[in-house]
Amino acid sequence: MIPYSKQQIFQKDIFFVNKVLKSNFLSKGPMIIKFENKISKFVEAKYSVTTNSGSSALHLACIALGVKKGDIVWTVPNTFAASANCALLCGANVDFVDIEKDTFNIDVIELEKKLIIAKKKNKLPKLVIPVHHSGQPVEQKKIWKLSKTFNFKILEDASHSLGASHYGEKVGSCRWSDITVFSFHPVKIITTGEGGVITTNSKLYYDKIKQFRENGIIFEKKKFIYKSLHPGYYEHHSPGYNYRMSEISAALGLSQLTRIKQIIRERNKITEEYRKELKSYPVTFQKIRRYNLSSFHLTVIKIDFKKTKKKFNEIFEIFRKKKIFVNLHYMPLHLSPFFKKRGFKKKQFPVAENYSEVALSIPNYPGLKKKEFFLVINII
């Protein structure tokens, strides 16, 4: 079978994981610290906190940003449920901003329009969660500027975009945001099995994220409210979660991170080859802005159904029958049973809805064989 994306495991990865399995620490050991330091260095942010998933990372980020019951949080409709769940779990109300037709990312003009209306109604969002769709950074500078005018925080859902950059600045540096979150699910750029990481330049957010990742427990002596009673002393300051990554996962991540440049290069190359091969076909690709480097977690084709005889579902099924697991990223989130029950309707975000009727993520991952590549081309 050929999936739309998958992990690539080398002998070196197995060696790293093996070493951890035979060591004293499977949790809370040196690998986590090493991996977090390497991530900080790679994205050029001050702080990194690893987690057991990208979803839990998003949840911790919302907690750190102080998202509470009654707050308003905006994201895009063409995203995974986790981009909204993180805010819902904090008791916030989620609303959406439509995407751009050609980049598949949040439409900054729509965002500004919606902010102007929200300001008049006194219903401005506390937080906006843009998603770097497929690995292409959103218009970070412009969103940052709007956040200063309309006073909202920015949490980047960068699950797709480890290694991507905007005006030469790495996604995750938080130059134009408050917090960034990455996912290490096996289909993403690098994997830890399941896992995620949060990056920020704020010590305040960093401390809060760590506290809530560790069951609300404080291990730092200078933050103790009471006197340290014995060498193993710690303090419970709030409720929290166990959202920690294991040493086994961190070792895999460390090993994978050493190849990131090569992975990004390969994902870009495969997309470029699809573009060349499909030049004369009724399909369009995501527009990549000249100041962006995409990590191409996904390669998406939009099919021009005015020029084909087959319907979307038929094309989907032809691929699936040949064991090529193309997919749609994503069904419009505002039309899920959950959000529909809360009053969201069809035609509310027409660009994202249209996207979901014509877009297919086709196989792109390091190690995709020539034979597999041409099988996909032939079916198209």
Ligand X SMILES: *Cc1c(COP(=O)(O)O)cnc(C)c1O
Q: Which residues bind ligand X (CB under 6 A)?
A: 53-55, 79-80, 82-83, 131, 157, 159-160, 183, 185, 196
- Determine phi and psi for 19, rounding to 5 degrees: -60, -40
Provide the minimum distance between the beta carbon of 298 and ligand X in the complex, in angstroms, as a whole number.
9
Separation of alpha carbons 171 and 197, rounded Å: 13
Choice between 4 and 319, CB closer to ligand X: 4
Provide the minimum distance between the beta carbon of 171 and ligand X in the complex, in angstroms, as a whole number.
13
Name the residue whose CB lies closest to ligand X.
Answer: 54
| Nearest-5° Cα angle at 85, 75 to 145 | 25
Choice between 53 and 292, CB closer to ligand X: 53
Choice between 78 and 292, CB closer to ligand X: 78
Provide the minimum distance between the beta carbon of 146 and ligand X in the complex, in angstroms, as a whole number.
21
Provide the minimum distance between the beta carbon of 367 and ligand X in the complex, in angstroms, as a whole number.
20
- CA dihedral over 115, 118, 120, 122, signed as positive or negative: negative
Choice between 162 and 301, CB closer to ligand X: 162
Residue 7: C-alpha distances to residues 2, 60, 147, 185 (Å):
12, 26, 36, 9
Provide the minimum distance between the beta carbon of 106 and ligand X in the complex, in angstroms, as a whole number.
12
Provide the minimum distance between the beta carbon of 132 and ligand X in the complex, in angstroms, as a whole number.
8
At 2 the three-state DSSP class reads: strand
Choice between 361 and 373, CB closer to ligand X: 361
Choice between 159 and 380, CB closer to ligand X: 159
Provide the minimum distance between the beta carbon of 196 and ligand X in the complex, in angstroms, as a whole number.
5
Provide the minimum distance between the beta carbon of 199 and ligand X in the complex, in angstroms, as a whole number.
15
Choice between 188 and 380, CB closer to ligand X: 188
- Determine phi and psi for 331, rounding to 5 degrees: -60, 140
368: left (phi over 0), alpha (psi -120 to 50) or beta: beta
Q: Where are the beta strands (DSSP E) in the chain?
A: 2-3, 47-51, 72-75, 93-96, 127-129, 153-157, 165-166, 169-170, 179-183, 196-200, 217-218, 235-236, 283-285, 292-293, 299-303, 324-325, 359-362
Provide the minimum distance between the beta carbon of 282 and ligand X in the complex, in angstroms, as a whole number.
27
Question: Count of alpha carbons within 13 Å of 136, Cβ hemisphere only?
Answer: 22
Chain-centre distance for alpha carbon 119: 28
CB 189 within 8 A of CB 158: no
Task: Please name the amino acid found at residue 209.
Answer: I
Burial of 284 (C-beta count, 10 Å sphere; 0-12/13-18/19+): middle
Choice between 158 and 254, CB closer to ligand X: 158
Choice between 249 and 268, CB closer to ligand X: 249
